[in-house]
Structure 1
Amino acid sequence: MATPPQSFVLDRSIFNETLYSRLREFWLAGVPHNATSPPFEALQKWFGVGRSPEEKAAFDGECYSEFGEALEAIGPSKLALPAWEGYEKDLENVEAISAPLLAEVKNALGQNVEGGVQTLLSLSLLLDQMPRNIYRDGDGLRLVFTHYDRLAWSLLRSSMKLSPNPLEHENVKGRPLYLTWYLIPLMHCEHLPSHDIFLEYAQNCRLTFLEKQDTAAVEYMDRNIEFEEKHIEPLKLFGRYPHRNEALGRKCTPEEEAYLQTAETFGVKQKQKDVKEDEKQDVDRSEL
């Protein structure tokens, strides 16, 4: 029987510093420690740019072999989230929903602020990115949107209430390519106020590096802001992401059906669209 978050105990043979370090090493491999923007090889890995379907599938397989066990250990058969009543209700309960994971961040912050910041990054990658590489269609996508995204969003929103706020740390605000991986759960939610937070952090970061005349960092943040604005568009029109309707069992309105004929679906395959998705850039790897 699945356990509510407040009573859930993480399996220490899985959830430990070895896992958290491995998540960062795996995802950020090839990225110089002090880099403000990612090398092209990292973009290829993260977003599938210029990669063949076989190469993308191989990377997905690596994600599963490395981190599938950790995701399954906090999946819905083990960790029971409260019934969904909307984002505002979840916002009231983010600490309870993310309780076992938030405790990891708190404990790490208590020992060393930078360690806590890194732990949050690791958990964000685990909850937001790994599911998108492992569960790509059907019931898997539903799992991403209803379980792991909820955990990722709740963990970030609750962590932002901590003192110190991890997002205000110099190693987050001062490193654009790291900042985006902390913020990504905000982009993936259907909650416009959270998108405002994403834009605030992203735009402030862009201005900082514009003043420093770091062109590569500014261009990287420009791409993130542009993609964030693409996510905001359907939310302003419909209050939700129509490209998720199939996976979530939601019926499209006629307006949404018309929109999906030409709109960006962020790599989420649509039965209605006669498009060879495997020939498109696989941006749903992070929906970035």
Structure 2
Amino acid sequence: MPDTPRDSAETADTDTADSKSKTAHDIATPQAVCDFWFETLTAKQWFAKDAALDGEIADRFGATLAAAARCELWHWRDTPAGRLAEIVVLDQFSRNVHRDTAAAFAQDPLALALAQELIARGEDAKLPLTQRIFAYMPFMHSESLAIHARAVTLFDVPGMETQLDYEHRHREILQRFGRYPHRNAMLGRVSTPEEIAFLRQPGSTF
């Protein structure tokens, strides 16, 4: 027997409520994000291209990333750890979930703004060194030389020598090309002959 209008409305309301409940259930906590990134994963896994890990992050944190992209996780910013977790979701998980697509970089401006706020509030100083590295990573991911001028000072501290070296290498690429050539294909940008030649060299991508 077909649903009456009331039955249909009730069914729709139930479906909507179930959907909202499922979405809320799928949103991770800041602690879960930090535990996974800083405790479960190894340093090698942070920067490795691993399809299995990308899939795991998409499954576990895909809904969280979508919520962060909609600025729905503002309440995370009540604590330094919560703000860091939001930065990790936007700046790191986005690169895993959307690897090799333009979407991998779509949340970079928001992640950078959150990192700038974290620093302006002096909250980065409350984080352990390894966590501070990832709080600063949005600066390195930027294609703005003005942002990289700040990045150099952020990474120029004891314990971040490796990151400072990478920052200098990133900055040199931007000084030469004004952008990261390895992103061109993903972002639909036409590479110049000089960029094409550069991309053939080892170490031209990160």
Note whether the superposition's TM-score is higher than 0.5: yes
Tell me the equivalent position of 1:176.
Answer: 129
Runs of at least 4 residues off by over 3 Å: 99-104, 158-161
Distance 2:35 2:169 in 1: 30
Go from structure 1 to structure 2 and tell me whether the alpha carbon gap of 1:265 and 1:104 turns closer, same or farther (over 3 Å shift).
Answer: same
TM (normalized to structure 1)? 0.58
Distance 2:202 2:180 in 1: 11
Aligned counterpart in structure 1 of residue 64 of structure 2, from 60, 64, 70: 70
Asked if 1:257 corresponds to 2:196, the answer is: yes
Asked if 1:231 corresponds to 2:149, the answer is: no
| Higher helix content, 1 or 2 | 2
**Identity score, percent:** 30
Aligned residue pairs total 185
Distance 1:227 1:250 in 2: 24
Check conservation: 1:14, 1:70, Cα contact below 8 A.
Answer: no
Distance 2:165 2:109 in 1: 24
Tell me the equivalent position of 1:94.
Answer: none
Go from structure 1 to structure 2 and tell me whether the alpha carbon gap of 1:159 and 1:43 turns closer, same or farther (over 3 Å shift).
Answer: closer
Q: How far off its partner does 1:74 sit?
A: 4.6
RMSD (Å), alpha carbons: 2.5
TM (normalized to structure 2)? 0.79
Check conservation: 2:181, 2:199, Cα contact below 8 A.
Answer: yes
Aligned counterpart in structure 1 of residue 102 of structure 2, from 142, 148, 153: 142
Q: How far off its partner does 1:184 sit?
A: 0.4
Tell me the equivalent position of 1:185.
Answer: 138
Go from structure 1 to structure 2 and tell me whether the alpha carbon gap of 1:144 and 1:24 turns closer, same or farther (over 3 Å shift).
Answer: same
Q: Secondary structure at the match of 2:107?
A: helix
Distance 2:153 2:137 in 1: 13
Unaligned regions of 5+ residues in structure 1, if any? 1-10, 31-40, 80-98, 109-115, 207-217, 267-286
Distance 1:181 1:160 in 2: 12
Deviation digits for residues 63-114 of structure 1 (CA, Å, limit 9, x no counterpart): 1111011123355xxx4xxxxxxxxxxxxxxxxxxx6555641xx1xxxxxx
Asked if 1:196 corresponds to 2:149, the answer is: yes
Go from structure 1 to structure 2 and tell me whether the alpha carbon gap of 1:250 and 1:263 turns closer, same or farther (over 3 Å shift).
Answer: farther
Q: Secondary structure at the match of 2:46?
A: helix
Q: Secondary structure at the match of 1:190?
A: coil
Q: Secondary structure at the match of 2:142?
A: coil
Q: Secondary structure at the match of 2:179?
A: coil
What letter matches 1:196 in structure 2?
Answer: A
Deviation digits for residues 169-220 of structure 1 (CA, Å, limit 9, x no counterpart): 2x33xx32121110000100101122222221221x21xxxxxxxxxxx4xx
What letter matches 1:29 in structure 2?
Answer: E
Unaligned regions of 5+ residues in structure 2, if any? 1-21
What letter matches 1:152 in structure 2?
Answer: A
Distance 1:45 1:165 in 2: 29
Q: How far off its partner does 1:159 sit?
A: 3.5
Q: How far off its partner does 1:23 sit?
A: 0.2
Check conservation: 1:234, 1:240, Cα contact below 8 A.
Answer: yes
Question: Which structure has the higher relative contact order (CA within 8 Å, separation 6+)?
Answer: 1
Within 5 Å, give how 1:1-288 maps onto structure 2.
13=24, 19-29=29-39, 42-48=42-48, 56-75=50-69, 79=70, 101=73, 104-105=76-77, 108=78, 116-137=79-100, 141-145=101-105, 147-161=106-120, 164-167=121-124, 169=125, 171-172=126-127, 175-203=128-156, 205-206=157-158, 218=159, 221-262=160-201, 264-266=203-205, 287=206
Check conservation: 1:102, 1:158, Cα contact below 8 A.
Answer: no
Distance 1:257 1:199 in 2: 27
Check conservation: 2:26, 2:63, Cα contact below 8 A.
Answer: no
What letter matches 2:117 in structure 1?
Answer: S
